[in-house]
Amino acid sequence: MDLAALQREMAAAIMQPLTTDEGMRTTATDGRPMKGVAESFIAPNSRLTAFERLEIYNRQYWFRVLGALAEDFPGLQAVVGARRFEALSIAYLTEHPSRSFTLRNLGSRLPEWLAAHPEWTGRRHRLALDVAQIEWAFVEAFDSAERSPLTVDQIATLDGNSRLALQPHLRLMQLQYPADDLVLRLHKGERSQTSEAGVEHETDAPLAVPKIRARRTWLAAHRVDLSVYYRRLEQEEFQMLAAIRVGLPLAQAIEAGFANSRAGVARRTRRIREWFATWGELGWICAPELDSLF
């Protein structure tokens, strides 16, 4: 077995989910006995068999990735309950195992995966989706790039043909619930205790989440001085920002923002002026990258 083949064999073994009692499975995914798989590239020692030595890596891999996912999504865990969260985490990581040198990207596909697998979130499915979106937006807003924003004077020179860009760390979300306050409360009140697996929870049941009514909500996550903040948006404001993000000229972005809006011309003008003042103050607006103009 050459090095690349050995690495693939070992990766497949250690990334295979654990048994219910947190041990290594006795059979590989292709049906081979795991004992034989381990012995094909690991030698036993005076204390441990090849299987037991490989099991150490298998267990540590899963303890680490499950702990990392729980650290990034404590609100989702609180909403669905610890036991259900662990089960959905294992299902998600089995389908989308770590493919990056950093655990930062581990949950990048979790919101879309949850949307396609409502069986893992129970009766709080829509709320869970919103919470997962908000929590992943936090990760992206925290460490995504920041570019030099346009100054107030530069913004004042814009016309209908101007093309703009948004800060890479600015994340836009359209939600079914006003769940941002809930996420902030859950994060503030979370209490962690360590166990062998990295995380231990006081209860398997979902937390008693304050009653929250479904209401379409538009939200931005952004970074200021290395801290992440959430800001609620008006629907027209969200639509305009989304149009700017995809590269529409300013006149078309304004038209997209007020599509199906009942706001009159005077109100539209006032709101646009207020939004640009706020966006400029927060540093959200940038010049587009040169290669995006061609």
Q: Is 193 a residue whose pLDDT tops 70?
A: no
pLDDT of residue 289: 81
Residues 4, 52, single domain; the answer is: yes
Residue 6 has pLDDT above 70, yes or no: yes
CA diameter of the chain: 83
> Is 221 within a domain?
no
Lowest mean pLDDT among 86-100, 233-247, 278-292: 278-292
The pLDDT mean for the chain works out to 91
So what's the pLDDT on residue 31? Answer: 95
pLDDT in tens, 217-249: 999 999 999 999 999 999 999 999 999 999 999
22 plus 131 within the same structural domain = no
Based on the fold, state whether residues 107 and 206 are members of the same structural domain.
yes
| 128 in the same domain as 111 | yes
Residue 294 has a pLDDT of 45
Whether the per-residue pLDDT at 178 is higher than 80: the answer is: yes
User: What is the pairing mode between strands 165-166 and 171-175?
Assistant: unpaired
Strand-pair category, 171-175 with 227-233:
unpaired
Residue 223 belongs to a domain: no
Helices and strands (H and E) in the chain: how many: 12, 5
In this model, does residue 197 exceed pLDDT 50? no
> CA 136 to CA 123: how far, in whole Å?
21
Residue 200 has a pLDDT of 42
Domain C-terminal end among 29, 50, 68:
68
* Residue 4 to residue 227: CA distance in whole angstroms: 41
The predicted-structure confidence for 8-39, as pLDDT tens digits, reads as follows 999 999 999 999 999 999 999 999 999 999 99
Nearest to 126 by CA among 236, 208, 184, 212: 212
CA distance 293 to 288: 7
Q: Looking at the domain assignment, is residue 87 inside a domain?
A: yes
Domain boundaries, position 86: 73-143+178-213
Structure-model confidence comparison of residues 183 and 201, the more confident one? 183
pLDDT tens per residue, range 32-71:
999 999 999 999 999 999 999 999 999 999 999 999 999 9
Which phi and psi angles does 135 have, rounded to 5°? Answer: -70, -35
Question: What amino acid is encoded at 154 in this protein?
Answer: Q
> What is the reported pLDDT for 36?
96
Residue 112 lies in a domain: yes
- Of 36, 68, 100, the one marking the end of a domain is 68
- Cα distance between residue 167 and residue 222, in whole Å: 9
Q: What is the per-residue pLDDT for 194?
A: 31
The answer to whether residues 139 and 154 belong to one domain is no
Mean pLDDT of 198-225: 76
Percent of the chain with pLDDT over 90: 84
